[in-house]
Protein backbone atom coordinates (compact mmCIF):
# COMPACT_ATOMS: atom_id res chain seq x y z
CA UNK A 1 0.00 0.00 0.00
CA UNK A 2 1.35 3.43 -0.95
CA UNK A 3 2.33 5.76 1.81
CA UNK A 4 -0.14 8.68 2.08
CA UNK A 5 1.15 12.10 1.07
CA UNK A 6 0.91 15.15 3.30
CA UNK A 7 -1.81 17.57 2.19
CA UNK A 8 -0.59 20.84 0.71
CA UNK A 9 -1.81 23.93 -1.08
CA UNK A 10 -5.41 24.63 -1.98
CA UNK A 11 -6.56 21.06 -1.26
CA UNK A 12 -5.23 21.39 2.29
CA UNK A 13 -6.79 24.83 2.80
CA UNK A 14 -10.17 23.63 1.55
CA UNK A 15 -10.09 20.50 3.70
CA UNK A 16 -9.18 22.47 6.83
CA UNK A 17 -11.96 24.98 6.15
CA UNK A 18 -14.52 22.15 5.91
CA UNK A 19 -13.23 20.46 9.05
CA UNK A 20 -13.16 23.61 11.17
CA UNK A 21 -16.71 24.38 10.03
CA UNK A 22 -17.65 20.92 11.37
CA UNK A 23 -16.09 21.65 14.78
CA UNK A 24 -12.59 20.24 14.31
CA UNK A 25 -9.62 22.34 15.45
CA UNK A 26 -6.22 22.40 13.81
CA UNK A 27 -2.95 22.45 15.74
CA UNK A 28 -0.41 24.07 13.42
CA UNK A 29 2.59 23.06 15.52
CA UNK A 30 1.74 19.35 15.38
CA UNK A 31 -0.25 19.48 12.14
CA UNK A 32 -3.14 17.53 13.60
CA UNK A 33 -6.88 17.96 13.88
CA UNK A 34 -8.84 17.37 17.07
CA UNK A 35 -12.42 17.22 18.20
CA UNK A 36 -14.25 16.50 21.44
CA UNK A 37 -17.39 14.37 21.14
CA UNK A 38 -19.90 14.27 24.01
CA UNK A 39 -22.62 11.67 24.44
CA UNK A 40 -25.51 11.05 26.81
CA UNK A 41 -23.59 8.40 28.75
CA UNK A 42 -20.65 5.99 28.74
CA UNK A 43 -22.46 3.39 26.66
CA UNK A 44 -23.17 5.86 23.87
CA UNK A 45 -19.55 7.05 23.93
CA UNK A 46 -18.31 3.47 23.77
CA UNK A 47 -20.70 2.70 20.92
CA UNK A 48 -19.28 5.63 18.96
CA UNK A 49 -15.75 4.39 19.59
CA UNK A 50 -16.68 0.91 18.41
CA UNK A 51 -18.17 2.22 15.16
CA UNK A 52 -15.26 4.62 14.65
CA UNK A 53 -12.82 1.75 15.23
CA UNK A 54 -14.44 -0.18 12.38
CA UNK A 55 -14.07 2.83 10.08
CA UNK A 56 -10.43 3.18 11.16
CA UNK A 57 -9.77 -0.47 10.35
CA UNK A 58 -11.24 -0.10 6.87
CA UNK A 59 -8.92 2.87 6.25
CA UNK A 60 -6.01 1.19 8.07
CA UNK A 61 -5.59 4.52 9.86
CA UNK A 62 -6.00 4.79 13.59
CA UNK A 63 -6.80 7.77 15.81
CA UNK A 64 -5.15 8.99 18.96
CA UNK A 65 -8.08 9.17 21.35
CA UNK A 66 -9.21 8.95 24.94
CA UNK A 67 -12.50 8.31 26.67
CA UNK A 68 -13.76 9.58 29.99
CA UNK A 69 -17.34 8.58 30.77
CA UNK A 70 -19.42 10.39 28.11
CA UNK A 71 -16.59 12.23 26.37
CA UNK A 72 -14.30 11.04 23.58
CA UNK A 73 -11.32 13.22 22.66
CA UNK A 74 -10.00 12.50 19.16
CA UNK A 75 -6.79 13.66 17.52
CA UNK A 76 -5.84 12.77 13.95
CA UNK A 77 -2.57 13.06 12.06
CA UNK A 78 -0.57 10.73 9.85
CA UNK A 79 2.62 10.05 11.75
CA UNK A 80 4.46 8.58 8.73
CA UNK A 81 3.76 11.72 6.69
CA UNK A 82 4.43 14.03 9.66
CA UNK A 83 1.11 15.81 9.17
CA UNK A 84 -2.37 15.69 7.71
CA UNK A 85 -3.22 13.40 4.82
CA UNK A 86 -6.36 12.30 3.02
CA UNK A 87 -6.65 9.47 5.57
CA UNK A 88 -7.16 11.99 8.38
CA UNK A 89 -9.87 13.75 6.41
CA UNK A 90 -11.67 10.50 5.60
CA UNK A 91 -11.60 9.32 9.22
CA UNK A 92 -12.79 12.70 10.52
CA UNK A 93 -15.65 12.65 8.02
CA UNK A 94 -16.55 9.08 9.01
CA UNK A 95 -16.63 10.04 12.69
CA UNK A 96 -18.85 13.03 11.97
CA UNK A 97 -21.15 10.80 9.93
CA UNK A 98 -21.39 8.31 12.82
CA UNK A 99 -22.67 11.05 15.14
CA UNK A 100 -24.85 12.58 12.42
CA UNK A 101 -22.93 15.85 12.22
Specify the number of domains making up the chain: 1
Q: How far apart are CA 3 and CA 65, in angstroms?
A: 22
Q: How far apart are CA 47 and CA 53, in angstroms?
A: 10
**1 pLDDT exceeds 70?**
no
Domain annotation covers residue 15:
no
Look at the pTM and tell me if it is higher than 0.85: yes
Per-residue model confidence as pLDDT tens digits over 4-54? 899 999 999 999 999 999 999 999 999 999 999 999 999 999 999 999 999
CATH number for the domain harbouring residue 47: 3.30.1360.20
How remote is the C-alpha of 11 from its chain's centroid? 17
For residue 40, the model assigns a pLDDT of 98
- Domain assignment of residue 75, given as a range: 33-99
Q: How far apart are CA 63 and CA 11, in angstroms?
A: 22
- The answer to whether the CB of 18 falls within 8 A of the CB of 7 is no
Domain annotation covers residue 26:
no
Amino acid sequence: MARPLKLTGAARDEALAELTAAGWTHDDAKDRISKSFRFKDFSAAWGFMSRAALAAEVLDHHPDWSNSWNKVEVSLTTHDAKGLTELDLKLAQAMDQIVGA
